[in-house]
């Protein structure tokens, strides 16, 4: 499938769209969008509209953490999330970690297909509703 969107670094002008996408994805982390600009943020843009975003940070030498990845519901299952993840991973040298809700089977399958494996569980990690997190890691290749 040919990608009909572009991946680029986020700008302050993208924060409203990032906020709307995040609100439309209750399974995603719910941060104040302006906080993301302290980290690395990429957006996928299709026909002038933000279709999704990914946020990650370096936590230690050769260790990274994906903080959030969300795609506009109407844009899901069209390669946007995978393209964002691949673009972010190109910047990460070392292990990459993330947490996902234990009940979010589609996200777990998505990340496992991208080479992540289960590394542990964080009991009671999430609230609204309370739920465990599954810790995933992708080791350097």
Query: Domains of the chain: which residue ranges?
Result: 6-138
- Known catalytic residue at 65: no
What is the reported pTM? 0.89
- What's the pLDDT tens digit per position in 131-141? 899 999 999 87
- What's the pLDDT tens digit per position in 8-50? 999 999 999 999 998 888 777 778 889 999 999 999 998 888 9
* Tally of CA atoms within 13 A in the half-sphere of 71 that contains its CB: 19
Residue with tokens 């506009």: 72
| Distance from C-alpha of 21 to C-alpha of 36, rounded to nearest angstrom | 14
Catalytic, out of 65, 111, 125, 139: 111
Residue with tokens 């542990």: 120
Catalytic, out of 72, 99, 125, 139: 99
- Known catalytic residue at 111: yes
SS3 138: strand
Provide the CATH topology of domain 6-138: Aminopeptidase (3.40.630)
């Amino acid at each position: 499938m040919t990608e009909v969107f572009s991946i680029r670094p986020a700008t302050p002008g993208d924060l409203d769209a990032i906020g709307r996408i995040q609100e439309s994805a209750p399974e995603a982390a719910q941060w104040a969008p302006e906080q993301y600009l302290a980290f690395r943020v990429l957006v996928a843009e299709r026909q002038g509209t933000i279709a999704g975003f990914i946020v990650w940070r370096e936590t230690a030498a050769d260790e990274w953490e994906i903080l959030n990845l969300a795609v506009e519901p109407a844009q899901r299952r069209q390669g946007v999330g995978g393209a964002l993840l691949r673009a972010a991973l190109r910047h990460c040298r070392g292990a990459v970690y993330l947490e996902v809700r234990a009940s979010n089977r589609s996200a777990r399958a998505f990340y496992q297909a991208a080479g992540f494996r289960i590394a542990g569980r964080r009991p009671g990690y999430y609230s609204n509703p309370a739920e465990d997190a599954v810790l995933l890691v992708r080791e350097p290749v």
